[in-house]
Chain A
Amino acid sequence: MYRIFILFMTLQLIVSCSQVTLSNSLKQKQQVVDLEKLVDIPVKKYSLDNGLTLLVVENNALPIFSYYTFYNVGGRYESGTSTGATHFLEHLMFKGTKNYPFGIFDSEIEGNGGNTNAYTTFDQTVYHESVPVSQLDNIIKMEVDRMSNLVIKNDLFEKERAVILEERKMRYENSPSGKLYLTMMQSMFEGTPYGGSVIGEAKNIKEFTPKIIMDFYNKFYAPNNAVVVVVGDVKSDDVYESVKKQYGILEKSEKFQKIKEQRDKKELYTFRGKYKREINQWSSSPTPVLMMGFKGFDLNIREALVADILMDMLSGSTNSYLMQKYVHGKRPKMSSISANNYNLKMNGIFFFYAQLLRKANLNSVKKSLKQEYKTICEKGLNVRAMLRTKNQFLVHYFEEIQTNAGVAQFVGVRESMLGDYEHYKKELKVYNELTLDEVRNVCHKIFDTNEYILLTTWNKNPRKKK
């Protein structure tokens, strides 16, 4: 069982610097925890000769486990005419392999009380199962087969194409916010490998053939392009032995190396879109929805972590600056607003997402936001907000690792994206030593460039693109 080391003895008492006067009884109780010493997940890491990385965390609380496979391939490896290929392939990975024909994989898992699913991002494709512990060997065998023996049948391919088009309609075409978000991502990352669409353009989805998808699979699905994480009622060394036996027969692949060398060049991801502009979309939304994107940071750098704190300081509480000014203040203009920090592996964005009140004037809000970001780093940040955010982050960390699946996701993302499953310790260290000055500096880095894209959608916008 993994243990969270609770070191209450090391609690740091930090004096409140709030500008709000509270009763003494409340003030005295406010403590901030030494974040970095609180979480310690005992992970065992193994590497196979064929390049597969395995992480195991033992937790014998219940007779179950979660199994995550992170493939280091996502939407950014697609070309302009093949957007959505990674996601299409993710769907087809449930449609049968050589040794487990269609219907067996999910039947085996669900029939034993487990569940399975997958997701695709610009950087990764992740498959996961949570099942009773008796199924460990079975899951390993099935995942090995999915890594090496995918079978794509034409009839199933066509059915799944239809399903993906339905999914696209649900997530984007019929969701004003979903559509606006997609437009924001494509505009902010225009001309870079992040400027496509993970689910794919409808046109591309309609034109894919089984061969295109199979070529993609053959290129990227290999042990040296994957990280497997097992968390639950297992013995680490037993898992390693089984994984070595089953995955060990697969060969390392060189096929994706060249593409990766080309696609992983940092300069490809440099922002090159048109900024300081507006995009106004028509949708059926009866109230305006607004997004305002700024250039952000990739996952690898300290600024990305600081920007996490920044976003919560600005909007993560009823009392935060943006919430007070636009939602809970004397003259509210919005029903909600949030600051968001989205860090991808090679680049990132920072954006505001707001829903306006019916009677608010959109033009006046736009004008206000265009002024807001110029002064927000001074007006919107204070020490108390920073301390509050640190506490909220700690609760959030514990929430993330409540389940086996949560732990697998937690360490797996860090290992596959950053090459370090213990990266969370660095994160906690950064959060712990963070000062208001550093948050302000990062804030200025985001907003002082003066480069943004402001997007709106509602039923009063003109139907044609402005």
Chain B
Amino acid sequence: MKSIIICSYMLMTLVSLNIFAAESIANKVTKLNWNGLDVVWINEDRYPTYNISVYYGDGALSDNSSRRGETEMMFNFLDIGTRRYSQMQIADALDFYGVTYNARVTHEYSTFSMKGLVKDIVPTLKMVCHMVNNATYPKKILHREKNRMKNAFSSLLNDKRELASRAFRKLSLRNTPYQYSTDGSLKTLRKISSKNLILKKDYFQKRVSKVLYLTGPKEVLKIREIINKECGWENQKNLFSRRITYKENKISGPMIYLITVPKANLAQIRMGRFLNKSELGNDELMTLSAGFLGGGFTSLLMREVRVKRGLTYSINAFAGAQAEYGRVGISSFTKNETVTELIKVVRDTLSRVGRNEFKLADFKRAQGYLIGSYPFRFEESSDFLQQLISLDHVKKTYDNLYRFPETVSKLSSEDVAKNISKLFDWNKMTIVVLGEKKLSKQLRKLGQLKIISHKKFL
């Protein structure tokens, strides 16, 4: 009892401290409008550096079913050639400025981000504007880059964690619009041509809505004219933002899949499921549920699986949502001999949580972690910026972010236990084990098993 009272006092202190922090954080954010283009600027003057992210209101859902991966490829290969510059010349200019840039394509939206030194922001952005308007995806270079991609797919066997996550995504999201990976597959990759990529680029440039996010000192605002005139990003009001509807997915389970790989004395394990839009609760409750279950060294699963039994080096749980769907999952690995034991421990832990059989102090600790760790979310301005993008995408106000500690402090252990039972409902779970074929014998004891070669997921 004493520890719970202390915990509650600590929580109150943390919440009040973090409300203060949230106010100063909110003051850093300014919303602007540059000729019809929404701009969100985080004033950050500690370093002479900047971050820029361009949000596009469409993602991999725009890909033709025979050309999955097209959007991601379109963004990733913007730098392989334009009407004026070769791949080498583009690289020479951008690398010279020390710029790093990358695209992130989700099913629902995409971002193209770059960071570098403020002193070079103008020439860098001029080059980027030139690329988004004039990329030609030269055939020879595209062929070569596609070969590299094919090689990366073939070599996924070397990264079994990634391969397991890829298989898990496909299997747990089967029969939904999200079941394919945004980077496509060996099969779809072959069908994407230069022409397809140019059309895709033009679609994103001319028809998809955009929002500009940037961090840096006030000096970075001097890019306004380049953004409006050279990139051509203005008057976004009537442009397209994707929203989809789909038939509710009703998966019954648990379904167990063994993804076979040669020669492995360790098995990767993933468990989780797809969340329909109607199942998405509030973000704070989802975050706390996943954290209580499998976040950090003191989470329930870490204690049960690693600390008490030494079955693995790491185990974690996640729960996340975009605008129209969500996913929950548990990720771990263990030696071949203890695969079923680990799965059973997870199942029993979930079951105990469902019956409210846990210590309140453990819950308070998870809650304290989320509240206390709040300021860390703003340490790196690029992280802060990504949180704002996510909120805008799901059409929530920034107050959700600023009031996060307060909201979390109001959640009860009963709320969380109920939510975990719902989100991690064992009877709806997809369980993916990536390992040697011989594991099938022990996995069959857990329920219906389907064996698939890893090659199906390349």
Contacts and interface: CB of A to CB of B under 8 A. Distances in A.
Interface of A: 1, 3-4, 6, 8, 11, 18, 20, 22-23, 25-26, 29-31, 33, 38, 61-64, 94, 103, 106-107, 110-116, 130-132, 134, 158-167, 169-170, 173-177, 283-287, 289, 316-319, 324, 327-328, 332, 335-336, 355, 357-358, 384, 387-388, 391-396, 398, 402-404, 459
Contacts of B84: 23
Contact of A392 (B95, B311, B380): B95
B372 A318 contact: no
A173 B47 CA distance: 42
B10 A64 contact: no
Contacts of B152: 335
B48 A6 contact: yes
Contacts of A404: 379
16 contacts: A25-B123, A29-B120, A29-B123, A62-B378, A113-B14, A115-B296, A159-B308, A161-B310, A162-B310, A166-B333, A174-B160, A289-B158, A319-B88, A328-B87, A391-B97, A402-B47
Contact of A395 (B91, B116, B127): B116
Contacts of B96: 30, 384, 387-388, 391
B95 A319 contact: yes
B95 A33 contact: no
Interface stretch (B33-41, B192-200, B361-369): B361-369
Contacts of B250: none
A3 B45 CA distance: 10
Contacts of A459: 262
Given A20-B89, A161-B310, 20 more contacts: A6-B48, A25-B126, A26-B126, A33-B117, A62-B375, A106-B298, A110-B368, A111-B298, A111-B364, A112-B10, A132-B14, A167-B313, A173-B266, A284-B263, A284-B264, A318-B88, A332-B147, A357-B148, A358-B150, A388-B98
Contacts of A336: 148
Contact of B266 (A166, A177, A357): A166
B154 interface: yes
Interface string B133-154: 0000000000010011011101
Contacts of B308: 159
Main secondary structure of the interface of B (DSSP, over half): helix
Contact of A285 (B97, B120, B157): B157
B119 A33 contact: yes
Contacts of B92: 18, 20, 22, 317, 319, 384, 388
Contacts, number: 228
Given A132-B14, A132-B17, A391-B98, A64 B375 contact: yes
A107 B365 contact: yes
B265 interface: yes
Contacts of A25: 123, 126
A174 B264 contact: yes
Contact of A166 (B127, B312, B369): B312
Would you list the 4 A-B pairs with minimal beta carbon distance, nearest first?
Answer: A113-B372, A162-B310, A318-B91, A395-B98
B21 A115 contact: no
Contact of B311 (A26, A162, A318): A162
A450 to B, nearest CB: 31
Interface in B321-351: 333-335
A94 B297 CA distance: 10
Contact of B155 (A4, A170, A355): A355
